[in-house]
A and B are shown apart, each in its own frame.
Chain A
Amino acid sequence: MADPVRPRPAQKPRMTIRSSAGSLETAPQPAAAAKLGPELQAHIGRQLRSLYDEVLKQPVPDRLQDLMQRLGQNSPDRS
């Protein structure tokens, strides 16, 4: 049976992330910081930088360190 209180998404997402998109639909209460226009925009900016900076400050993984070690080892142009 259809749930009458379940809000319809404004637009069907083309790239579906099932559980997360579902949680957005079923749990529409916004985050505490996300309220009105400018505040909401600031919230979006903070979250975006937070996501980005978390990865930015991680150490370079071993596989990429190893790759960098290998680059140029067979290269003839180390002049």
Chain B
Amino acid sequence: MTVADDFKTELLAAIPALRAFAASLSGRSGWADDLVQETLVKAWANRASFQPGSRMHAWLFTILRHEYYSEYRRRRHEVADPEGLAAARLATSPAQDGHVAFREFQAALATLVPTHREALILVGASGFSYEEAAAIANVAVGTMKSRVARARSKLARLLAPDEQPPMAAAEAAAADDAWATCEGTNPGPDR
């Protein structure tokens, strides 16, 4: 067993989490596996910079999100998936709440600003703490908390529009700011 073998074993073990992150972030199955593939290649090429003992998932997620935002800026003018979301194809069996609710949720998630969607996924599904998620996204902890809150709030409005107050102008402006931040997304620590 060599150091390279150990690294490879850890990398292999991380693939399911990377795919889940990529699929929920990008909403497109083909794109998700492209992102994971790029992430694995880059991680392998940069394996010397990985600190053994640190949390490999966080390191890999940082690489993957950087790939996503780079590619997102190139692809954002493309026509969106006409069938809705490829994540629906990736996740073939519906949630316990029913298929319609699941599709609605996926559609709503796809309308979030990417940095907000990412925040929600990292904290709400990947199991990272706010501190870890903030480190992955290279932002302050307060910013991460704010993104998660805004993501939850917008999803709530979309999924139950009659139960929620209309979006305040200030919040809409903040969402635009977040979008601008995404536009200028700084490269992750792997660059």
Instruction: Tell me if B140 is interfacial: C-beta within 8 Å of chain A.
Output: no
CA distance A61 to B113 in the complex (A): 29
Q: How many A-B residue pairs have CB under 8 A?
A: 190
Instruction: Indicate if B23 sits at the interface (CB-CB under 8 A).
Output: yes
B96 touching A14, Cβ below 8 Å: no
Does B172 contact A45, Cβ atoms closer than 8 Å? no
Report the interface size class on chain B: 35 or more
Contact partner, A56, options B2, B20, B81, B103, Cβ 8 Å: B20
**What mask results when residues 1 to 36 of chain B are scored 1 for a CB within 8 Å of chain A, else 0?**
011110010011001110111011001000011001
Cβ A11 vs Cβ B125 within 8 A = no
| A33 surroundings in chain B (CB, below 8 A) | 97, 101
Q: How large is the interface on A (under 10, 10 to 19, 20 to 34, 35 or more residues)?
A: 35 or more
Please state if A44 and B155 are interface contacts (CB–CB under 8 Å): yes
Q: A16-B80, A18-B80, A54-B92 are contacts. A32–B101 as well, Cβ < 8 Å?
A: yes
B residues 36-65 in Cβ contact with A at 8 Å: 36-37, 40-41, 44
Contact B80 A31 (CB under 8 A): no
Cβ contact within 8 Å between A28 and B163: no
25 A-B pairs, CB-CB below 8 angstroms?
A7-B161, A10-B167, A10-B172, A11-B175, A15-B80, A17-B85, A17-B107, A19-B83, A20-B106, A20-B107, A33-B97, A41-B152, A44-B155, A44-B159, A46-B95, A47-B97, A54-B90, A55-B19, A55-B32, A55-B91, A60-B16, A64-B15, A64-B33, A64-B40, A68-B12
